[in-house]
Chain A
Amino acid sequence: MIESLIPAAIRPQLKGLRLMARRAASDGIGQHVSRNRGDGLEFAQYRAYEPGDEPRRIDWKLFARSDRYFVRESERDSALTVWLMIDASASMNQADEAMPEFSKLDAAKIFAASIIELALRQSDRFGLITIANGRVDLVPAAAGTRQRDRCEIVLRQLKAGGGWPDETALRPVWERIAADHMTVLLSDDFDDLAVRLIERLAAARREVLSVQLLSGDEREFRFRGNRRFVDPESGSELRSDGAAARESYLRDFAEARESLARRFAASGVRHVEAMIDRPLILPLQVLFGRREDLA
């Protein structure tokens, strides 16, 4: 059996989390408050009647044939659509020197799998957008365990490389992400194009959540001795003494993080920083935990 993408330590902690749309979300009977009433228009599947189901949703013709209660379920019943947008540019290969096997992309995959798990539990629809080597790949939004498996296959095969694509390559994103869809961007947010895409999505009435993945080395800059720093995307090099460069780096980097947080706050994006060397459940709890739990 293939090992799950979600580590055993995280899975039980997902129990208390819920995907919550900030705005009263779309149509259908789901866990999200809906503006549009009515049953699902697109038939999805039958399921056995359970106490609590509305009697009018029982398919009486089927009852007449089989002498059992079945409930018609429709695609549109799930109220929320979550898009997981994963930045797999070369910079996402960054890992800590203390833990060289665990890159930011690995952490992003765990986050994506966890959020998919949450969506599956709530019968929400979810889709996957991966951005690697300057192009965009999509798994169209759907619900159900098979959709989860589809997404997991894509996630497992995902390898980081290349840079951020230009506007035309990003067009599928705009075609797929409809208004009121929730988008979770898993990225290091080092590329300004990525930040601008999020700002524009938020301005276009999409609900956007940003998880910025940061490594422990970036946060604390524990390098010693002479280093030749190499930018994985541009390939440019910089020689510096680790300890000597630390102070100015930490100052500038903290400033950059703050200004990013301000930009996201200004455009209404819920932004959280995820440290890949710390428990990964923490940013999920910030985004999806109940408010009273956090307080």
Chain B
Amino acid sequence: MSFALLYTTGLAAFAALLVPLLLHLIRRAEYQNTPFAAMRWIQAQLRQQKRLRLRDIPLLLLRLLLLVLVALLLAQPVLRGDAAAAKHWVLVAPGVDVRVARDRMQSIDGDWANADWRWLAPGFPTVSISAAPATSDSASLLREIDAELPASSGISVIVPRIVDGLDGERPILSREAEWIVVDGAMPAVPALIDTTAERLLVRNDKAKPGNAGYIDALEQAWRIDWPNLSIDRGEIDAALPDNARWLLWLSSQRPESLQRWIENGGIAVSTPDTDNAQPTETEPVWRDRNQNVIASSQRIGKGRLIRLSGAFTPSELPVLLDGDFPQRLHNLFAGPPPAPTRAFAAALKPLHTTSALSTAKVSLATRTPLDPWFALAIAILFAIERIWASARRGVKA
């Protein structure tokens, strides 16, 4: 068992030790009033005090101890557990057949019988007593178990070929994890993508017939990527049904009907206003490689109006010709697509780092927080200090 502080910055509170020291310094000019009838026999003898003197030294020490404890409490004291009890952990990802995993481990040297076999699932249930649970965040669980285990225990992770439940970043652990890929597939996790049919209104200005070609191309591109998307094309004077939420408004006009439709919660992507005036309170939502704003969003009522930086022509809107324009335009309505959650296990071997951040961490599982004991000691000392100090004052009075 050893003592450790999780938040050493809290020790800056030691600076507070100066306060009682200053309070206990005897001020030179302080004279104690003493009525004395036999005063006529006293001769004034003033003595300069050369060195600093402290009064009530036991009380001062008590107060200093109190502050030291408070500073240590702020620094979050813990007791680190005994590292000798560390065991090797074998984590089996759901979807891996346990028998296959055991056979595979037999082929590797090691005392696998005594290892701790656990599912890579919330709570880390033991493999032998529970069936394979469903899990959706493997990467997060890996980081959790890495933080909780003592530094000396090793980890073996058995995963299927394709790992699900990732979060876009390759796990970085504080120890070298044995990464074993076996056959099998993780149970399907319900997709988070919304597959409900969306309705997109496209309204084109009669004055700009050149837009039609681009709209055709957009429609074809969207049909492939989002087959559920229904597209409703029309002129700008066509009705704007309330059950649609997305609108591509290829006109610089802003009729009353459009305003109302947006205020009711619609998202409209439009070419710039007629007077080209930049409205206030807009937020850039799409920038090109040179950080030029391509689209900026303005909140109107419950909905939003997103203005493109130019008309629907390649000269004014160069990105119109880019291959990912349909995708990016769709993102303006639907928001960015979710991060990928599946990856080939072979490419996902967790990285091992010895950076100060991860090694300085004390394992969660083996540390005992000492906060309650420190708080209790502080409360007792404070009570003693109060009683003592008030008794002192009583004597002086």
CB within 8 Å of B: which residues of A?
A: 91-94, 97, 188, 190, 217-218, 223, 225-233, 236, 238-241, 243-245, 248-249, 252-253, 256
Contacts and interface: CB of A to CB of B under 8 A. Distances in A.
Contact of A239 (B31, B35, B38, B41): B31
A94 B43 contact: no
B103 interface: no
Majority secondary structure, B binding face: loop
A227 B31 contact: yes
Interface in B32-72: 32-47
B35 A240 contact: no
B30 interface: yes
A94 B36 contact: yes
A227 B34 CA distance: 6
B347 to A, nearest CB: 80
A253 B37 contact: no
A240 B32 contact: no
A121 to B, nearest CB: 33
A228 B31 contact: yes
Contact of B41 (A217, A233, A252): A252
Chain A CB within 10 A, most for which of B30, B40, B45 = B45
Contacts of B46: 226, 239-241, 244
B49 to A, nearest CB: 8
Given A244-B47, A245-B43, A230 B38 contact: no
Majority secondary structure, A binding face: mixed
Nearest to B36: A229
29 contacts: A94-B36, A94-B38, A97-B34, A188-B37, A188-B38, A190-B40, A218-B36, A223-B34, A225-B26, A226-B30, A227-B31, A227-B32, A227-B34, A228-B31, A229-B34, A230-B35, A230-B36, A230-B39, A231-B40, A232-B37, A240-B42, A240-B45, A241-B46, A245-B44, A245-B45, A248-B43, A248-B45, A249-B43, A253-B38
A253 B30 CA distance: 26
Contacts of A188: 37-38
A248 B45 CA distance: 10
Given A227-B32, A228-B32, A241 B45 contact: yes
A218 B31 contact: no
Nearest to A91: B37
Across the A-B interface, give the 10 residue pairs with the lowest CB-CB distance, nearest first: A91-B37, A244-B45, A228-B31, A245-B45, A241-B47, A252-B41, A94-B37, A231-B39, A229-B36, A253-B41
A91 B44 CA distance: 20
Given A226-B30, A226-B32, A228-B31, A238 B37 contact: no
Given A241-B47, A244-B47, A230 B42 contact: no
Interface string B2-34: 000000000000000000000000100011111
Nearest to A233: B37
Contacts of B32: 225-228
Nearest to B32: A227
Nearest to B55: A225
Nearest to A252: B41
Contacts of A229: 34-36, 39, 42
Nearest to B47: A241
Given A239-B44, A240-B45, A253-B41, 18 more contacts: A94-B36, A94-B37, A188-B38, A218-B37, A218-B38, A226-B30, A226-B32, A226-B46, A228-B33, A228-B34, A230-B35, A231-B36, A231-B37, A231-B39, A239-B31, A240-B43, A243-B47, A244-B45
